A and B are shown apart, each in its own frame.
Chain A
Amino acid sequence: MAIVRMQRIRVCGLRRQRKRILELLQRRGVVEIDEPDREEEGFERADVSAQRSSLERELKLAQEAVQLLQEAVPEKKGLLSSLEGRRALTEQELEDFRAQSTKTAALAKRVLAAAREREEVRTALTRLDTEAESLAPWAALDVPLRPKGTKSSWVFIGTLPGAWTQTALEARAEPIPLSAEIVSASDEQTCVFVLCLRRDREAAEQFLRSLGFAAPAAAGKTPPAERRAAIEKEREALHSRADKALRELETLAEHRGDLQLLADSLTMRIEKYHMIDRLQQSKHTFVFSGFVPAAAAQPLCGELEACGAAAELSEPEETDTVPVLLKNNRFAEPVETVLESYSMPGKGEIDPTPVMAIFYYVLFGMMLSDAAYGLIMIIACGLCLLKFKGMEPGMRRSLRMFFFCGISTTFWGFLYGSFFGDVVSAFSKTFLGNEVVLGPLWFAPVDDPMRMLLFSMLVGIIQIFTGLALCAYQLIRQKRIKDMIYDVVFWYLLVGGLIFALLSSDIFAQISKSDKLPGIVGAIGGVCAAIGAVGILLTGGRESKNPVKRLLKGAYALYNVTGYLGDILSYSRLLALGLATGVIAEVINSMAVMIGGGVVGFIAFVIIFVFGHTVNIGINLLGAYVHTNRLQFVEFFGKFYSGDGRKFTPFADHTKYFKIREEK
């Protein structure tokens, strides 16, 4: 529970064992290298950027091959396949694969070549299509489109705008004698073949131009009819080429796993080269230091020594920024993800995960607050967790978090009497004739929103005071008792005193319609609040020497009481979001039963019910998640947690498709 203790490890080894030692470290994945970015005296840093960039090129090739293969021959995946996680591979299998990785690299090249072939075919086909289209109006013509004419005749082939007939054209041409033949005609243009005497050539040309004659865009030595047949043949040839390339890709798809492993193996090697970059090296030796979790330190040292390296452990120094690794039990661990998305605990801070987990589940449940929705979450997450054993840790944590949130949601749902809203009573009234009501175990927020609002704020006060308590604990651990009194105890007195004073006032009794506390409690509360206020006024600005400045800063600190008010009021979202889920669910139910009883009514009910509640779950799940996070980040963390720590990122295998299994 909490932050894992780190030790500094210093390792010295011989250069000829470098590969073995680094691979051991990478496989174990427990050391974060912390080496200053400069050369120590007597050592130098190896420049391996050339090797690295050549590996990076190979990696790019492999990744491209995998991607192109995926585009051409998609891998069949189930809907939930992303839950399955990376495939496992033993170290031996990896070794065997590496021994013949050149063969796989050749496969990658074949994938790229086949994909390029398909691309070329596609371009060629488009070109042919365009040509065939432009030739379409000339399909009936059996001479080339650029005829030369004969000794005594001349030929014009081209298009005229608008629709023309043979007689109309010849009549229009008078007195020039010419013979026109219409190849094809449409409303927009007419394709014509015009024959005239060679000596009339110029006059005819002028006449045709005046009508807007234009030579055809597609021109060639072969007559269009023949050309079209040729295009058809070319197209067939291209299609068979594409088919062949696709078949090649389909055969290669059997090696998809190899290609993915190639990419992974290259990723690992690149990571290793990044590491080599950072080692301090002399002619025969190398040294480096880093951080290792204390629990893993001893076994690792043993293994390193077995490899012929010397390893030495020590406690981190005051000045070190030690990376943070969290370790929590199965109940609290899932919300580590939430903490990480805020920030890791900084120096001297505690890991708030265990405390936060309790609040997280409770608040989430209060916001979603529907027993049926909770049960759906429990079943869905539970089944996935049971079915997919090899799931990635991050995914497993998220699912487990929603599993616990589901339990809490079910709990609150029954307390508030919400099961798909009021489906039990709505359904029984419409279809069974007599209304069966699933009553709340505690009370229904819709019936008594004021009570729910007060309860929400009570939860808020509890969480905020817990935050203050954690702040006190941190200050005590750092032996800053005075700060603890000034920053925590005075605030407890002020805020707590004000709350009790309010509880015993007439206004409160009026709003909540309940009995107020006896006056004496209010008086004590008032006194406590006054002590707290004076204390904060005097100590809030204690870092200033100047007494006037100090008092002003203290007054400003006291003003922060409005911040507490805002924080507590912020918990009213527990009411608002809880009501939103319940009321929207009820709206869906009342729409679903609108058609009435009978078979048709029942079918309509089922359709509206399923669709409506699916949408409602989606929206409110998102809302509950976002606002639970917000209450943790702003209202809770604001009291004690700054979180400027750095996450522990060890030197390890960061692969995409495979994970390497440890051999026991």
Chain B
Amino acid sequence: MDQLGMALALLGAALAALMAGIGSAIGVGMAGQAAAGVVTEDPGKFSKVLILQLLPGTQGIYGFLIAFLTLLQIGVIGGGDVQVSATKGLLYLLACLPIALVGLWSAIRQAKAAVSCIGLIAKRPDQLGKAIILPAMVETYAILALLVSILAVFGITPLAL
């Protein structure tokens, strides 16, 4: 069972990449469908709706970021003889949870706002600034979760557990 810590940490990294990635995939997909509808009517709005479609995509990147940082800390990437105790592994798993869960949920919620704003762009293309801001509000919470995960992952590494 001496590898338990490594397994737990890896589970955390996988969850971060998995759940945030799933959330963004769903979100970008939803927004993409709505965007395609607008482009059918007016291909000139492509660049505007593309920006809105991309907004729910950041959660996946945040999840990937945390996963990568965790892999780096436990020596899966970059090598190095790193010993991960069971406690430390569990801590890494917990540190990954904020971005995993909030990433999944906020991406979907942000996508709903983005879909509505794509509708807004279809009718009032001049209001792009406002249309971007509304879904971006949702992202705040993904950013906060990312922050907690980053601080936690960095904070765990020097602990002697």
B-contacting residues of A (Cβ < 8 Å)?
Answer: 337-338, 340-342, 449-450, 453, 569-570, 572-573, 575-577, 579-580, 583-584, 587, 590, 619, 622-623, 626-627, 629-630, 633-634
Tell me whether B136 and A341 are in contact (CB under 8 A).
Answer: no
Q: Which of B129, B140, B150 contacts A629 (CB 8 A)?
A: B129
* B106 at interface, CB cutoff 8 A: no
Tell me whether B147 and A575 are in contact (CB under 8 A).
Answer: yes
Tell me whether A341 and B65 are in contact (CB under 8 A).
Answer: no
Tell me whether B132 and A626 are in contact (CB under 8 A).
Answer: yes
Q: Which residues of A contact B144 (CB under 8 A)?
A: 569, 572, 576
A-contacting residues of B (Cβ < 8 Å)?
Answer: 51, 54-55, 57-58, 61-62, 64-65, 68-69, 77-78, 127-130, 132-133, 136-137, 139-140, 143-144, 146-147, 150-151, 154
Q: Which residues of B contact A580 (CB under 8 A)?
A: 61-62, 65, 146
Tell me whether A619 and B129 are in contact (CB under 8 A).
Answer: no
Tell me whether B65 and A584 are in contact (CB under 8 A).
Answer: yes
Tell me whether A590 and B78 are in contact (CB under 8 A).
Answer: yes
Residue of B with least CB distance to A573? B143
Closest 9 CB pairs of A and B: A341-B129, A626-B136, A576-B147, A576-B143, A573-B143, A576-B146, A587-B68, A572-B147, A630-B136
Residue of B with least CB distance to A625? B132
Residue of A with least CB distance to B149? A576
CA distance A629 to B135 in the complex (A): 13
Tell me whether B133 and A633 are in contact (CB under 8 A).
Answer: yes
Q: Which residues of B contact A590 (CB under 8 A)?
A: 77-78
Tell me whether A619 and B65 are in contact (CB under 8 A).
Answer: no
CA distance A580 to B150 in the complex (A): 10
Main secondary structure of the interface of A (DSSP, over half): helix
Tell me whether A619 and B54 are in contact (CB under 8 A).
Answer: yes
Residue of A with least CB distance to B130? A341
Tell me whether B151 and A453 are in contact (CB under 8 A).
Answer: yes
Residue of A with least CB distance to B51? A622
Given A342-B129, A619-B54, A633-B133, answer yes or no on A584-B61 (Cβ-Cβ < 8 Å).
yes
Q: Which of A572, A575, A583 contacts B65 (CB 8 A)?
A: A583
User: In whole Å, how far is A369's beta carbon from the nearest beta carbon of chain B?
Assistant: 15
Q: Which of B57, B61, B129 contacts A338 (CB 8 A)?
A: B129
CA distance A619 to B140 in the complex (A): 16
Given A575-B147, A633-B133, answer yes or no on A619-B58 (Cβ-Cβ < 8 Å).
yes
User: In whole Å, how far is B72's beta carbon from the nearest beta carbon of chain A?
Assistant: 9
Can you pick out 23 interface pairs between chain A and chain B where the beta carbons lie within 8 Å of each other? A453-B147, A570-B140, A572-B143, A573-B140, A573-B147, A575-B147, A576-B143, A577-B143, A579-B65, A579-B150, A580-B65, A580-B146, A583-B65, A583-B68, A587-B65, A587-B68, A590-B77, A619-B61, A622-B51, A622-B54, A626-B139, A629-B136, A633-B133
CA distance A340 to B132 in the complex (A): 14
CA distance A584 to B68 in the complex (A): 9
User: In whole Å, how far is B140's beta carbon from the nearest beta carbon of chain A?
Assistant: 7
Q: Which residues of A contact B139 (CB under 8 A)?
A: 626-627
Residue of A with least CB distance to B50? A622
User: In whole Å, how far is A628's beta carbon from the nearest beta carbon of chain B?
Assistant: 10
CA distance A369 to B110 in the complex (A): 25
Residue of A with least CB distance to B66? A583
User: In whole Å, how far is B148's beta carbon from the nearest beta carbon of chain A?
Assistant: 10
CA distance A634 to B64 in the complex (A): 28
Q: Which residues of B contact A453 (CB under 8 A)?
A: 147, 151
User: In whole Å, how far is B34's beta carbon from the nearest beta carbon of chain A?
Assistant: 18
Tell me whether A449 and B151 are in contact (CB under 8 A).
Answer: yes
Residue of B with least CB distance to A634? B137
Q: Which residues of A contact B136 (CB under 8 A)?
A: 626-627, 629-630
CA distance A408 to B67 in the complex (A): 30
Tell me whether A623 and B147 are in contact (CB under 8 A).
Answer: no
CA distance A342 to B131 in the complex (A): 11
User: In whole Å, how far is B103's beta carbon from the nearest beta carbon of chain A?
Assistant: 13
User: In whole Å, how far is A330's beta carbon from the nearest beta carbon of chain B?
Assistant: 22
Q: Which residues of B contact A449 (CB under 8 A)?
A: 150-151, 154
Residue of B with least CB distance to A447? B154
Q: Which residues of B contact A629 (CB under 8 A)?
A: 129, 132-133, 136
User: In whole Å, how far is A74's beta carbon from the nearest beta carbon of chain B?
Assistant: 13
User: In whole Å, how far is A266's beta carbon from the nearest beta carbon of chain B?
Assistant: 21
Q: Which residues of A contact B137 (CB under 8 A)?
A: 630, 634
Residue of A with least CB distance to B136? A626
User: In whole Å, how far is B45's beta carbon from the nearest beta carbon of chain A?
Assistant: 14
CA distance A341 to B51 in the complex (A): 16
User: In whole Å, how far is A402's beta carbon from the nearest beta carbon of chain B?
Assistant: 15
User: In whole Å, how far is B136's beta carbon from the nearest beta carbon of chain A?
Assistant: 5
User: In whole Å, how far is A336's beta carbon from the nearest beta carbon of chain B?
Assistant: 12
Q: Which residues of B contact A342 (CB under 8 A)?
A: 129-130
Q: Which residues of A contact B68 (CB under 8 A)?
A: 583, 587
Tell me whether B61 and A583 are in contact (CB under 8 A).
Answer: no
Residue of A with least CB distance to B131? A341
Q: Which residues of B contact A450 (CB under 8 A)?
A: 151
Residue of B with least CB distance to A448? B154
CA distance A429 to B68 in the complex (A): 21
Q: Which residues of B contact A575 (CB under 8 A)?
A: 147
Question: In the complex, given contacts A626-B55, A627-B139, what are 11 additional A-B residue pairs having Cβ atoms less than 8 angstroms apart?
Answer: A337-B129, A340-B129, A341-B128, A341-B129, A576-B143, A580-B146, A583-B69, A627-B136, A627-B143, A630-B133, A633-B133
Q: Which residues of B contact A583 (CB under 8 A)?
A: 65, 68-69
Q: Which residues of A contact B140 (CB under 8 A)?
A: 570, 573, 630
Given A626-B132, A633-B133, answer yes or no on A619-B57 (Cβ-Cβ < 8 Å).
yes
Q: Which residues of B contact A633 (CB under 8 A)?
A: 133
Q: Which residues of B contact A630 (CB under 8 A)?
A: 133, 136-137, 140
Residue of B with least CB distance to A616? B61
Q: Which residues of A contact B69 (CB under 8 A)?
A: 583
**Which of A450, A572, A634 has the most chain B CB atoms closer than 10 A to its own CB?**
A572
